[in-house]
Amino acid sequence: MPDARILIVDDHRDTRYALESALAPLGHRLCCVAGGDEALKEVLRGRVGLVLLDVCMPDVSGLDVVRYLRRLEQTQHIPVVLLTGFGLDPALTSEAFALGVADLLPKPVDPGSLRTKVRYLYDAHQRRLALEREVRGLRALVEAGAAPAPAREGT
């Protein structure tokens, strides 16, 4: 998934624009949607490598989106960064991390910190996917009876 997009989900257009502007210097493809239903559709279409997700939205909450993503094998490992404009209360923090979110950030978000977190999480996820592809390829070779040649030292 080398061309995986970063999905920005927030019901406020100004916030989507600010997040998009903050992440543009990373050079990744960005996709913005206004709600949880749209977010789920985008993720299920595939090629999403990270989700920035507002907690409080009118149709489907960010936590509900995360619950759904974690139930599906193809989406359960996509890194999700939740954003909240209501502060980091202990109940929200506990629930978010219990669902497996990568981070929970208060709004407004510092653009430099956001870029650093997103770069790290996106790259780590891409490396994980690459390793999974490599393992699947090696398993296929082993199952086909063609064990890979051992790596030679010094090459």
Q: Which CATH number covers residue 130?
A: 3.40.50.2300
126 within domain boundaries: yes
What whole-number percentage of the chain has pLDDT above 90? 70
Number of residues that make up the chain: 155
- Gap between the Cα atoms of 70 and 73, Å rounded: 7
148 within domain boundaries: no
153 within domain boundaries: no
Residue of 128, 71, 135, 138 lying closest to 99 (CA atoms): 71
151 within domain boundaries: no
Average pLDDT over residues 138-153: 74
Q: How many CB atoms lie within 10 A of CB 52?
A: 30
- SS3 (DSSP) at 88: coil
150 within domain boundaries: no
DSSP for 23-67, written as a single string: HGGG---EEEESSHHHHHHHHHHS-EEEEEEES--SSS-HHHHHH
155 within domain boundaries: no
149 within domain boundaries: no
- Give me the number of domains the chain comprises: 1
Evaluate if residue 77 carries a pLDDT over 50. Answer: yes
Q: Which domain holds residue 99?
A: 5-143
152 within domain boundaries: no
- Gap between the Cα atoms of 84 and 86, Å rounded: 5
Average pLDDT over residues 86-115: 92
Evaluate if residue 2 carries a pLDDT over 60. Answer: no
11-42 confidence digits (pLDDT tens): 999 999 999 999 999 999 999 999 999 999 99
What pLDDT does residue 27 have?
Answer: 94
124-141 confidence digits (pLDDT tens): 988 988 898 899 888 888
Residue of 54, 114, 63 lying closest to 83 (CA atoms): 54
What pLDDT does residue 94 have?
Answer: 94
